[in-house]
Copies of this chain bind each other. A is one copy, B any other.
Amino acid sequence: MTGILYGVGVGPGDPKLLTLQAVEVLQRVSVIAVPDTDGEKTAMKIVKDYIKGKEIMYCPMPMSRDLEFVASKHQESCEMLERELIAGKDIAFITLGDPTIYSTYMYIHKMMIEKGYSTKIIPGITSFCAAAAALNTSLCDRGDVLHIIPASYPDAEKQLMLDGSKVLMKSGKKLGEVKETLKRLDLYKNSQMVECCSMENEKIYRNLDQVSDDSSYFSIIIVKDK
């Protein structure tokens, strides 16, 4: 019997934000797969109490704009996973937040579906829901539209001009620029930020004045509608 590949969302940082289903899958499988990137090793900290004694597989998943290089590494990761699945082992591939929201894991997931393997997604708490909870506020009410925007893409300014509430994902790398854009669009005073949400070093910014331009990669800005 070929194994099943689970893409398991482990939430934003606090192990208590794991779902019961995630814990069940983590405890049941024999292999835990994780990207070999620095950022994603945070995922290992979240699940550490549930994976003792299990085989850990570090999959090459570089962050790079060289798409050919990235694809070849993803292919390599797939081959590692395939060997285990063919040996009948179930695998939990852990990924921060929710797998369906900007997760590089999904490239692997789709490749494995194409290769004919059984796959299943286990949802996780998104960083933006946890950030709104940390700010003790809602993201959207009644008829509001909510726009989830990757902050480091050139399109971000256009998206910020839309009606509705906005979440800027992973603002860390371009924070100076993002702050300038928010000022220009008169959205600065409606903006709050959470850095490293639900992690030990979580920081909450009720306004962006105290935010330094070299904040963590794990920074979520929430812009409420005017």
Measured CB to CB, the residues of A under 8 A from B are 9, 11, 14-21, 23-24, 98-103, 106-107, 109-110, 113, 119-126, 129-130, 132-133, 136-150, 153, 155, 159, 162-163
Contact = CB atoms under 8 A, between A and B. Distances in A.
A150 B143 contact: yes
Contacts of A132: 100, 121
A111 to B, nearest CB: 13
Nearest to A138: B106
B136 A119 contact: yes
Given A125-B125, A155-B143, A103 B16 contact: no
Given A103-B138, A133-B100, A147 B150 contact: no
Contact of A102 (B15, B16, B142, B163): B142
Contact of A141 (B16, B18, B106, B141): B106
Nearest to A152: B143
B140 A102 contact: yes
8 contacts: A14-B21, A17-B19, A17-B123, A102-B141, A102-B144, A109-B136, A123-B130, A125-B125
Contacts of A100: 129, 132-133, 137-140
A132 B140 CA distance: 20
Contacts of A125: 19, 98, 123-125
B139 A150 contact: no
A139 B150 CA distance: 13
Contacts of A140: 100-102, 148, 150
B136 A142 contact: no
A107 B142 CA distance: 10
Given A17-B123, A122-B133, A145-B150, 13 more contacts: A16-B21, A99-B133, A100-B133, A101-B129, A101-B139, A102-B142, A109-B136, A119-B136, A123-B133, A124-B129, A126-B126, A142-B150, A143-B153
A67 to B, nearest CB: 10
Q: Which 9 A-B pairs have the closest CB atoms?
A: A100-B132, A121-B133, A16-B21, A143-B153, A146-B148, A106-B138, A100-B139, A98-B129, A123-B129
